[in-house]
Structure 1
Amino acid sequence: MQCPVRPYWTVPYQLKDCLKSQPLFRIFAKAGYNVALVARNADSLEKLAEEIQGTGGEPFLELTAEEIQESVNTNIIAAFAFAREAITLFKGLELDDKGKRGTLLFTGATASLRGNTTTSAIAAGKFGVRALSQSLAKEFGKENIHVAHAIIDGGILTGRARSYVPQEKLENPDALLNPESIGNSYLYLVNQDRSAWTWELDLRPAHEKW
């Protein structure tokens, strides 16, 4: 989230693992931003993230209604609540030097664009966030509020990744997304002026299969 006066970069908890690295925080701090981390329920999100990373998802017939609801709550409901507060704030701001009142960035994943054999739950939530971001971009662009959606299509080189990703892949600069590079891309979106806004940006390492 970006504001023209004393700006803040607010990080939804879903990004905590990929955005907690010092290089990425330094990018926004150097640009004059204060960084804040928000969460709906940190414990449940941490558990969900670990399950997804550990198993790659669950077969549809093994899913429960509660797991589907958790994906909806974590992705769609949380994004809706955060966006509502951010946009309400932005509407009261003056235009900055780039002709915008604020920037609202959503983060998606491969599952935002396509489902797979064991991604029923996560894909349902990610599809919803993507649709929400597109709707908000169209509705509030006319009020000079920039809404963008970034798809992180690939593994990220984080501390957690080092615990389960093969060493060969960890040492291959073409195989994983660098958190600092993600941060630079986010800052690029925030710095766009009103004559050329991006709604969706997809990021992946050079050798990612897609």
Structure 2
Amino acid sequence: GYRVAVISRFAEATHKLAEEITADGGEAAAFPVTTYTHAEINSAFNAIKNHWKDSDIRVGVFNAAADGVRKGFLGVTEEDLKKSLDTNVVAAFAFARESILAFKDLSLLDGQKKGTLIFTGATASIRGNKTTSVFASTKHATRALSQSLAKEFGPQDIHVAHAIIDGGILTNRSKDRRNDPEWEKDSAKRLDPDSIAKSYLYLAGQDRSAWTWELDLRPAHEHW
């Protein structure tokens, strides 16, 4: 199994997730940051390496995403754009850089790859809409980054993938926001985090003869 390092700007949630993983029999540690700058992400990766000196970093999953600003274009503020750029672009670059630097000098794992870097995308990664000019623009950028890195580092035995998550995910936050018990119970209408995780493990375990760059995941009854 994998040891799990959790990086996030939300310290309380970061520690809580690490504790939940540990309580379920896994091994995890929290590495909270205050911003997603290159310097802070670099510090977080150094802290991870110091925490588990006997382990290599083999998988990186970039899950961070700024909340989607839903406004008409003329209502978008400079702050709206900056917030989305900082998370979906600047942070993605910083996380990718540290992950690839951690992978590049490793030997092949089971003769297949040095490491796997996965970016979590959204419907907005491939499609804009009337009120998603900010979110769609920056999620398109994350996707383009992942494709560029996949092409550059695939020949160096580093696997880069992009996963489009098309639909609502069953989390405590989504439960509170929706307040819809029927939605929670109907697995054909929402994504289960454990099922998403299985797909990510599948990507990490792919042999070098057949690597996926992009996959999309959605509930069976999602309108698309």
Deviations 1:92-136 (A, max 9, x none): 101110410000010100100101111111111100000000000
Alignment of 1:176 onto 2:190: yes
- The structural deviation recorded for 1:153 is 0.5
Q: Moved runs in structure 1, 4+ residues, more than 6 A? A: none
What is the rounded CA distance, in whole Å, between the counterparts of 1:183 and 1:168 in structure 2? 23
Alignment of 1:79 onto 2:79: no
- The structural deviation recorded for 1:167 is 2.7
- The structural deviation recorded for 1:155 is 0.1
What is the rounded CA distance, in whole Å, between the counterparts of 1:156 and 1:88 in structure 2? 31
Question: TM-score, normalized by length of structure 2?
Answer: 0.74
Aligned counterpart, 2:159: 146
Q: Which amino acid aligns with 2:198?
A: N
Alignment of 1:41 onto 2:35: yes
- Give the one of 186, 192, 201 matched to 1:187: 201
Relative to structure 1, the CA distance from residue 21 to residue 168 in structure 2 (aligned partners, 3 Å threshold; closer, same or farther) is farther
Q: Which amino acid aligns with 2:142?
A: V
- The structural deviation recorded for 1:197 is 0.6
- The structural deviation recorded for 1:7 is 5.2
Summarize the alignment of residues 59-208 of structure 1 with structure 2, pairs less than 5 Å apart: 59-165=72-178, 166-208=180-222
Relative to structure 1, the CA distance from residue 39 to residue 181 in structure 2 (aligned partners, 3 Å threshold; closer, same or farther) is farther
Asked if 2 retains the 8 angstrom alpha-carbon contact of 1:10 and 1:38, the reply is no
Question: TM-score, normalized by length of structure 1?
Answer: 0.79
What is the rounded CA distance, in whole Å, between the counterparts of 1:194 and 1:134 in structure 2? 17
- The structural deviation recorded for 1:137 is 0.2
What is the rounded CA distance, in whole Å, between the counterparts of 2:6 and 2:128 in structure 1? 26
Q: Which amino acid aligns with 2:220?
A: A
* Worse-superposed segment, 187-196 or 58-67: 58-67
What is the rounded CA distance, in whole Å, between the counterparts of 2:95 and 2:223 in structure 1? 32
Structure 1: state its 5+ residue gaps.
1-5
SS of the equivalent of 1:133 reads: helix
Deviations 1:124-155 (A, max 9, x none): 11000000000000000000000000111100
Q: Which amino acid aligns with 2:71?
A: E
What is the rounded CA distance, in whole Å, between the counterparts of 2:34 and 2:209 in structure 1? 35
Relative to structure 1, the CA distance from residue 10 to residue 193 in structure 2 (aligned partners, 3 Å threshold; closer, same or farther) is farther
Relative to structure 1, the CA distance from residue 74 to residue 60 in structure 2 (aligned partners, 3 Å threshold; closer, same or farther) is same
Relative to structure 1, the CA distance from residue 34 to residue 58 in structure 2 (aligned partners, 3 Å threshold; closer, same or farther) is same
* Worse-superposed segment, 178-187 or 33-42: 33-42
Structure 2: state its 5+ residue gaps.
37-63
Identity value in percent: 52
Aligned counterpart, 2:39: none
What is the rounded CA distance, in whole Å, between the counterparts of 1:29 and 1:147 in structure 2? 28
Q: Which amino acid aligns with 1:84?
A: R
Higher relative contact order (CA 8 A, sep 6+): 1
What is the rounded CA distance, in whole Å, between the counterparts of 1:77 and 1:134 in structure 2? 16
Number of aligned residues: 190
